[in-house]
Structure 1
Amino acid sequence: MKLIGLNREEVKAALKNEKVTIAVYGMGKMGLPLAAVFAEHGAKVIGVDINEKVVEMINRGENHVKEEPGLDELVRRNVEAGRLKATTDGVWAAKQADVMVILVPTLTDERGNLKLDPVYDVAEKISRGLEKGDIVITEATMPPGTTESLIPILEKSGLKLGEFGLAHAPERTMTGTAIRDITGQYPKIVGASDKKTLEAVIGIYETINRKGVLPMSSIKAAEAVKVFEGVYRDVNIALANELAVWCEEHGLDALEVFQAANTQPYCHLHMPGAGVGGHCIPVYPWFVINLAKKTNPRLTKTAREINDSMPHHVVELTVKALNEAGKPVKGSNILVLGLTFRGGVREFMKAAAKPIIQELKEWGANVYAYDPLCTPEDAKRFGAEWKEDFNDIDAIIITADHREFKELDFERLVKEMRSKVIVDGRNVLEPLKVENARFIYKRVGLDPQIPR
């Protein structure tokens, strides 16, 4: 059922009554939860992916995104009900669908330069199945202006923009909480090519999101929202890191100061740490930087420099702690706890552990690694040797806030470690516990002199 020209209430009724077919391109960590949620609310959903194994699993009612609580049941139930199926044929899916959602991965280099081939490839496939009245929505986060760059590709269908609708509705989800985020953690941001498309897209997302929709004046404005969210986080984490390092120099506990300052409602100092990782926060600032022509986004650039310097700072703290223990870095056995960029998620993009391991090896240290979500092969790719105990370790560096690392057994550490040094790059330990165990302890924002 074509939705352009319907008001939002008519769109909601059509979707709930299984009259709307939605094709979601990209059945990854964000795409499959979105597809399952649409199906749960009544849409007929076709998931499209280039991975045949993923498609086969979905068609058997199996969920391959294991990090998402509740997704197993959501996929199984909707496949059995006939509302969710998958295919590798993107052209066929476009021919069946009334709405096409593009949520394929956008690949970037270290400076945020995007390789948009997957997005353009999907747009090409959609153009071969596009019909009058269809709506194409991008959810993948891209530099402002990218969605509208798809218009010439989509118009290869023989249709002109206006005969089909185009919109951007940025995903605002995190791995591990995708279903919660899609269905009501935050309002949905939407920008569209015209008022009729905007009205229809509002109806689509109001059907699945309890917090409703925030319509924007343009597609480009909607794209900027998600990008600016990431820039805000990056800049404010950089401020926290800069102030934390200043506190180290002046003998202050940064977290004590931050927590007190944040009791004032206009202060929101973030958590300092070993670095900023993931596919979002360290990447989106480069969209702003790279698109700047007449302006010079100095603050955004400086924030990137500060946050990228934090793994090196953690190494500096480690060198200092080992020296206090009477150990040179060269020849020391150092165990890095955490290969992922954050706790509870097996993602490695811009993980702090990688540059930390590399620099420690340049110092001549013997570097080991452990992560409860990873394998010895992952450690090898990072340049470290896998180790699941603390025997003969001289220093521990915590680089991911996994739950397991918050509950270290200090009695075991005392028995097994050769030297008693801990550098907490994620602020997960209680300093008093470490102090009582008489370790040399340092973290970002705290550089105390604790006697052994």
Structure 2
Amino acid sequence: MRIAVVALGKIGLPLAVQFADAGHEVVGVDISDELVSLVNEGKEPFPGEARLQEKLSELVPEGRLRATTDYAEAIPGADAVVIVVPLFVNDATWEPDFGWMDSATASLAEHLTAGTLVSYETTLPVGTTRSRWKPLIEKISALREGVDFHLVFSPERVLTGRVFEDLRKYPKLIGGLSEAGARRARDFYEAVLQFDDRPDLPRPNGVWDLGSAEAAELAKLAETTYRDVNIALANQFALFADTVGIDIYKVIEASNSQPYSHIHRPGIAVGGHCIPVYPRLYLSTDGEAEVVRAARKLNASMPERFVQQAESLLGGLSQQRVVVLGASYRGGVKETAFSGVFPTVEALKARGAEVTVHDPLYSDAELRDLGFTGYHFGEPVDLVIIQADHSDYSAVGPADLPGVKLVIDGRNITDAGLWSGVPRLVVGAGGASEFPRA
């Protein structure tokens, strides 16, 4: 097959590589000249994706994968077009911002030819594929969906850093606007993906047809919103546990020993491209989902709550030297999308603190580009807030942070034995150690 992939980001490029590695001719489209040039040179444009460079080094010289900024070069004659363009959410209104996706859809529609399967993998509000993309593509292309081309929704279900592994591990969900479109999507994804044996699943791993685009859209929103709501519940339990001197981690471990309990872990922030965003996409079509709304608000409030605790315990933060450990949204991943570092630093600066940031995956220059001043172990500091669970931080102790008066561990990653004599607060662990209880 000849396949076009629209948007070569941290999901789109590995997808394009996967399709080419399965033996197909793949053309990737992206608006970035620099990214396109790097791909055509066989160089990974972003680090951290397992096996990506290895596969690029093989596929690009063989001519199985190339990139372009020109839709006219990629779309005409394609057997399938896969769209992975980002969808943003307005921070103030929580409404989706379709700007980039509308533009990409219009561009592909201008060059769409008959017989093409169009698959959206970007997570969408329920109903978007049918009510927004179908009429837009038909209007611009003058082609009829279900007759001249087929349109489906098939959500990506992978994490950056392990895309190729996850593509094999999880069922590929599809939902068409017609039975014929669903059959085309099944044939396509079975031709480009391979699946691990999963005896734990209720049916064989592979391509799962959910019967409609709306069902597939909701499936992706549901699985991610579940995580946000579950984390919010864990955070709620942790906040209460601190008021009564209970270690919530022991409680969660005990609760989860029963097979119907799957409580997640509390923490200072919920970051990444997915969990903070997709509940808001769900709310855009289900305004009555108060459980989802309350959970999102609670999780978003956690950085401010941690900073308030630090302010209370230290008697103020004005001119206090503070280091936030971790710019990434999660440990081991060089990605700051919706990272808790941003609201944490903002809350600290609002209280007059002198804030620096450390992350083993980022250079000082890269931290500056993010708006932060880099910290180096050994420099004097008053307060430490651990925001990301990088494995390096499990071995950090007072000797690395001269003068430290308080450590707030937002990820429960530090070794209590290393912090003897220094006040240490872990959310849900029963309150700050070394501080007298009221």
TM-score higher than 0.5: yes
The corresponding residue for 2:361 is 373
The corresponding residue for 1:201 is 185
> What are the superposed Cα offsets for residues 103-157 of structure 1, whole Å, 9 maximum, x if unpaired?
1112222254222222222222222322222110000111111122111222132
Question: What is the CA–CA distance in structure 1 between the aligned matches of 2:235 and 2:67, rounded to whole Å?
Answer: 45
Contact 1:251 1:448 in 2 (8 A): no
Question: What is the CA–CA distance in structure 2 between the aligned matches of 1:347 and 1:76, rounded to whole Å?
Answer: 24
Which residue of 429, 436, 441 corresponds with 2:414? 429
Q: CA deviation at 1:379?
A: 4.5
RMSD between superposed Cα atoms in Å: 1.9
Does 59-68 or 296-305 show the bigger shift?
59-68
Does 336-345 or 213-222 show the bigger shift?
336-345
Which residue of 163, 181, 188 corresponds with 2:172? 188
The corresponding residue for 1:412 is 399
Question: What is the CA–CA distance in structure 1 between the aligned matches of 2:98 and 2:368, rounded to whole Å?
Answer: 30
SS for the counterpart of 2:48 is coil
Contact 2:119 2:154 in 1 (8 A): yes
Contact 1:231 1:300 in 2 (8 A): yes
The corresponding residue for 1:322 is 314
Question: What is the CA–CA distance in structure 2 between the aligned matches of 1:144 and 1:154, rounded to whole Å?
Answer: 18
Question: What is the CA–CA distance in structure 1 between the aligned matches of 2:303 and 2:402, rounded to whole Å?
Answer: 23
Q: CA deviation at 1:78?
A: 1.3
Question: What is the CA–CA distance in structure 2 between the aligned matches of 1:98 and 1:43, rounded to whole Å?
Answer: 10
Alignment of 1:174 with 2:159, yes or no, is yes
Q: State the one-letter code of the partner of 2:145.
A: L
Which residue of 399, 424, 437 corresponds with 1:441? 424
The corresponding residue for 1:267 is 261
> What are the superposed Cα offsets for residues 71-96 of structure 1, whole Å, 9 maximum, x if unpaired?
11111211122211111111231113
SS for the counterpart of 1:37 is helix
Alignment of 1:238 with 2:232, yes or no, is yes
Q: CA deviation at 1:202?
A: 1.1
The change in CA–CA distance for 1:381 and 1:122 in structure 2 (over 3 A counts) is: closer
Alignment of 1:53 with 2:37, yes or no, is no
Does 60-69 or 165-174 show the bigger shift?
60-69
Structure-to-structure mapping, 1:286-301, within 5 angstroms: 286-292=280-286, 296-301=288-293
The corresponding residue for 1:386 is 374
Structure-to-structure mapping, 1:336-355, within 5 angstroms: 336-355=324-343
Q: State the one-letter code of the partner of 1:347.
A: E
The change in CA–CA distance for 1:232 and 1:395 in structure 2 (over 3 A counts) is: same
Which residue of 241, 247, 250 corresponds with 1:253? 247
Contact 2:4 2:29 in 1 (8 A): yes
Q: State the one-letter code of the partner of 1:270.
A: H
The corresponding residue for 1:160 is 144
The corresponding residue for 1:12 is none
Alignment of 1:226 with 2:223, yes or no, is no
The corresponding residue for 1:6 is none
SS for the counterpart of 2:18 is helix
The change in CA–CA distance for 1:266 and 1:176 in structure 2 (over 3 A counts) is: same
> What are the superposed Cα offsets for residues 2-33 of structure 1, whole Å, 9 maximum, x if unpaired?
xxxxxxxxxxxxxxxxxx10100011100110
Alignment of 1:123 with 2:123, yes or no, is no
Contact 1:338 1:400 in 2 (8 A): yes
How many residues get paired? 421
Q: State the one-letter code of the partner of 1:173.
A: V
Question: Any stretches of 5+ residues in structure 1 without a counterpart?
Answer: 1-19
Contact 1:321 1:442 in 2 (8 A): no
Contact 2:384 2:404 in 1 (8 A): no
SS for the counterpart of 1:306 is helix
Q: CA deviation at 1:383?
A: 5.9
The change in CA–CA distance for 1:451 and 1:128 in structure 2 (over 3 A counts) is: closer
Contact 1:24 1:103 in 2 (8 A): yes
Q: CA deviation at 1:162?
A: 1.4
Question: Any stretches of 5+ residues in structure 2 without a counterpart?
Answer: 196-204
Contact 2:89 2:95 in 1 (8 A): yes
Q: CA deviation at 1:433?
A: 3.4
Q: State the one-letter code of the partner of 2:425.
A: K
Contact 1:354 1:382 in 2 (8 A): no
Which residue of 137, 140, 143 corresponds with 2:125? 143
Does 200-209 or 261-270 show the bigger shift?
200-209
User: Structure 2-normalised TM-score?
Assistant: 0.91
The change in CA–CA distance for 1:30 and 1:384 in structure 2 (over 3 A counts) is: closer
The corresponding residue for 1:17 is none
Q: State the one-letter code of the partner of 1:358.
A: E
| Deviating 4+ runs (over 4 angstroms) | 377-384
Q: CA deviation at 1:39?
A: 0.6
Contact 2:225 2:279 in 1 (8 A): yes
The corresponding residue for 2:89 is 108
Which residue of 366, 384, 408 corresponds with 1:396? 384
Alignment of 1:31 with 2:12, yes or no, is yes
> What are the superposed Cα offsets for residues 370-404 of structure 1, whole Å, 9 maximum, x if unpaired?
11223445555666532212432112110011121
Contact 1:168 1:190 in 2 (8 A): yes
Q: CA deviation at 1:220?
A: 1.2
Question: What is the CA–CA distance in structure 1 between the aligned matches of 2:248 and 2:393, rounded to whole Å?
Answer: 21
Question: What is the CA–CA distance in structure 2 between the aligned matches of 1:95 and 1:209, rounded to whole Å?
Answer: 27
The corresponding residue for 1:14 is none
